[in-house]
Amino acid sequence: MQMTDFLGLLGGLALFLYGMQMMSSGLEAAAGSRMKLILERLTANRFLGVLVGTLITAVIQSSSATTVMVVGFVNAGMMTLGQAVWIIMGANIGTTVTGLLIALDVGELAPLFAFVGVALVVFVKRPQLQHIGQILAGLGVLFIGMDMMSSAMSPLRESEAFINLMSTFSNPLLGILAGAGFTAVIQSSSASVGILQTLANSGVIPLSSAVFVLFGQNIGTCITAVLASIGTSRSAKRTTIIHLMFNVIGTIIFTILFMLFPIAHVIDGTIVLPDSLGQSISAMMPTSPAAQIALTHTCFNIITTILLLPLGNYLAMAATKILPERPEDRDGQMHLEYLTPVQISSKDGGLGVSAIYVDQLQHELRRMMIMAQENVEASFHSVLNRSVDQLERVEEVEEYLDFLNKEISLHVSKLITYETNEQASAVVSGFFTISGNIERIGDHANNLAGYTKKLLSRNITFSDAAIGEITAMRDICEEGINQLLDEHAGTQSWLSEVSALEQKIDDMRRDFRRNHLARMKDGTCSEEACIIYAELLTDFERIGDHVLNIAEELAKVKEHI
């Protein structure tokens, strides 16, 4: 193999991988948050779950992205482990679409695809058409890269050393290890299968060896989900175990079948079977090596799914046995309950990650809001009852809210860097604003609780009228936060109600300040009590402002989800 051939191989590989990344990113951007909605709503029935997993993966052409989304949904508590099984099975079927496209051998049209795609990206301003252009350009670049690799590898058919190397893959174990290792490195079974098809088309690897490499590639694709599960809940980690078990079981079954009934050898013509059997098998199989690999890949995943479909619940049970629950995990430590450190890289463009984060953020922010609600209630209780029994808890929760706001901000800033979908980006930005406002509600609740110490240390008491007004403040603050947790949050009618509530808080503050000044004049309220009461009114009004800010952001988010 000459240096020019080697450089051509590297260039073709680069174009192939980049074209696949372009195509996948364009598909993900065009699909937007709809993938998330479909996965979330249509997973109760096992057959529907498999179908949904197949369709979603066929659209984004990445079983890894679908599995990563499922890991995130399980971790967020939006999907049970039992539901995740069916999506994973479907994802394995959907990932075969790329190989089938390659098997169609439309390489001669590749320059046309690339030209039309680039023209749409460069000259058209409409985002949806630009995404379609990115898909077409990626498809064109992918086939151009395949053609370059095929041309560069053609001389290897005459290389005795390379032929000997490829022949070692006829050993099932070596072939499986090679396929698993290569796919784990590039983290894309679609890409590795495409490269294997190119090798087969060039005649440098026979189908009898390629099938074992193909089986290993199905195992290697699990590495992305394994990486995505780092730092997640144990349920999410079990999802990756199910994904791994599915492909390992399928590999074992098909390796045994191909060793007992060597169909691949019949096609290669290296083994003699009864003429009738050999001819019938040959008649059923396509003549193109790439098509033969695509068909084998598709059969592998469909047949494995059919065999394991009745056993899906047992796979979930087995994963739970392998990774049992540990109640002591993260006890007493500040942590993100739902938001997980999903792996994002510039290589895959954060494919599918925004869909996970939208749901995880919703759950994490709801948890954060409930904590803020708890602090507001406890702080008013402390002031009204001159009690310090909840002050320590209020301070602990306030620290927790600060921690959550910081962690959410870090996650959002990382996600925004890679997000390609404008609507998803707007949603995530809205959640960032909501997190900051919840944290500020916690600050004001902490201020309210802090007034209790002054009341006790200086033996200050409020008048009955002031206590009545503080009770009214507590009630309307709790009503405002309850509105934010309402199941109808985000609708325009709901926003109008919250806006009216915030206006009522402003009116109450104005009226209470007027009453406060009157009490100061007639001496009903002590000077020190008046100062604390004025500060309390300020925090009361600020809580109302932040409630309205959150409501407005929720309404904007609702428009994009």
Q: What is the pLDDT at residue 228?
A: 65
Residue with tokens 């890991």: 71
Tell me how far apart the alpha carbons of residues 175 and 271 are, in angstroms, rounded to a whole number: 19
pLDDT band at 543 (very low <50, low <70, confident <90, very high): very high
Q: Is the pLDDT of residue 278 over 70?
A: no
Model confidence pLDDT, tens digit, residues 335-379: 788 776 555 544 444 445 566 677 788 889 999 999 999 999 999
Tokens, residue 216? 């290993």
List the structure tokens of 263. 């169909």
Q: What is the DSSP letter of 273?
A: -
φ/ψ (deg, to 5) at 76 = -80, 0
Q: What is the pLDDT of residue 368?
A: 93
Contact 209, 296 (CB under 8 A): no
Given a contact cutoff of 8 angstroms between Cβ atoms, the answer to whether 471 and 536 are in contact is no
pLDDT over 90 (residue 44): no
How big is the CA angle at 265 (ends 166 and 167), to the nearest 5 degrees? Answer: 15
40 vs 398 pLDDT, higher one: 398
Q: How far apart are CA 330 and CA 476, in angstroms?
A: 35
Mean pLDDT for 136-144 is 79
Rama region for 443: left / alpha / beta (φ>0; ψ in -120 to 50; rest): alpha
Q: Are 494 and 483 in contact (CB under 8 A)?
A: yes
Which pLDDT does position 362 carry in this prediction?
Answer: 86
pLDDT of 286: 61
Task: Note the pLDDT of residue 272.
Answer: 41
Going along the chain from its start, the domains and CATH numbers come out as 3-159+168-322 (no CATH), 353-560 (1.20.58.220)
Which of the listed ranges 41-45, 54-58, 230-234, 504-508 does the model predict with the highest average pLDDT?
504-508
Give the pair of three-digit tokens for residue 11: 């260039």
221-230, 393-402, 415-424: lowest mean pLDDT where? 415-424
Share of the chain above pLDDT 70, in %: 74
φ/ψ bin of 269: left (φ > 0), alpha (ψ from -120 to 50), beta (otherwise) = left
Which two three-digit tokens encode residue 400? 């927790």
Q: Between these two residues, 98 and 268, which has the higher pLDDT value?
A: 98
**Residue with the larger pLDDT of the pair 4 and 277:** 4
Q: What share of the chain is helix, strand, coil (3-state, %, to 5)?
A: 80, 0, 20
What is the number of alpha carbons within 13 Å of residue 412 lying toward its C-beta? 26
Convert 251-264 to b/e letters by CB count within 10 Å (16 or more is b).
Answer: bebbbeebeeebbb
Poorest-pLDDT segment among 34-38, 71-75, 128-132, 237-241: 34-38
Q: What are phi and psi of 419, to 5 degrees?
A: -65, 130
Label residue 418 by pLDDT band (50, 70, 90).
Answer: low
**Distance of alpha carbon 377 from alpha carbon 454, whole angstroms:** 19
Could you tell me which residue, 173 or 272, shows the higher pLDDT?
173
pLDDT above 90 covers a percentage of the chain that reads 18
Among 144-153, 216-225, 454-463, the least confident range = 144-153
Tokens representing 294? 């695509």
Q: List Cα–Cα distances, 169 to 208, 223, 458, in angstroms.
A: 9, 22, 84
Task: Identify the CA nearest to 228 among candidates 348, 334, 51, 319.
Answer: 348
pLDDT at 281 (0 to 100): 46
pLDDT at position 265 over 60:
no
Q: Is the pLDDT of residue 484 over 80?
A: yes
Place of tokens 């290589």: 347
As to burial, measured by CB atoms within 10 angstroms (0-12 exposed, 13-18 middle, 19+ buried), residue 88 is: buried
Residue with the two structure tokens 């680069």:
14
Average pLDDT over residues 229-242: 78
Q: What are 46-74's pLDDT values in tens digits? A: 788 888 888 877 766 667 667 767 776 67
Question: 370 with 439: CB under 8 angstroms?
Answer: no
Q: How confident is the model at residue 263 (pLDDT cuts 50, 70, 90)?
A: low
Please tell me which of 186-200, 201-215, 234-248, 544-558 the model is most confident about, judged by mean pLDDT: 544-558
Where residue 442 falls among pLDDT bands split at 50, 70, 90? Answer: very high
Q: In the predicted model, is pLDDT for residue 419 greater than 70? A: no
Q: Are 214 and 293 in contact (CB under 8 A)?
A: yes
In SS3 terms, 502-532 reads as HHHHHHHHHHHHHHHHHHHHHCCCCHHHHHH
More confident residue, 80 or 441: 441
Q: The whole model's pTM is what?
A: 0.54
Sign of CA dihedral 102, 105, 107, 112: negative
d(CA 31, CA 28): 5
- Closest Cα to residue 351, out of 363, 343, 340? 343
Confidence of residue 276 (pLDDT cuts 50, 70, 90): very low
pLDDT at 491 over 70: yes
| Confidence tier at 510 by pLDDT (50, 70, 90) | very high
pLDDT over threshold 60, residue 277: no
Q: Report the candidate in 15, 24, 22 with the shortest Cα–Cα distance to residue 144.
A: 15
Q: Are 19 and 140 in contact (CB under 8 A)?
A: yes
pLDDT of residue 274: 45
pLDDT tier, 273 (very low <50, low <70, confident <90, very high otherwise): very low
Most confident of 167-181, 344-358, 376-390: 376-390
| Range in 52-56, 123-127, 187-191 with the lowest mean pLDDT | 187-191
- Average pLDDT, whole number, for the chain? 78
Higher pLDDT, 33 or 88: 88
Residue type, 458: R
Looking at residue 554, its pLDDT comes to: 92
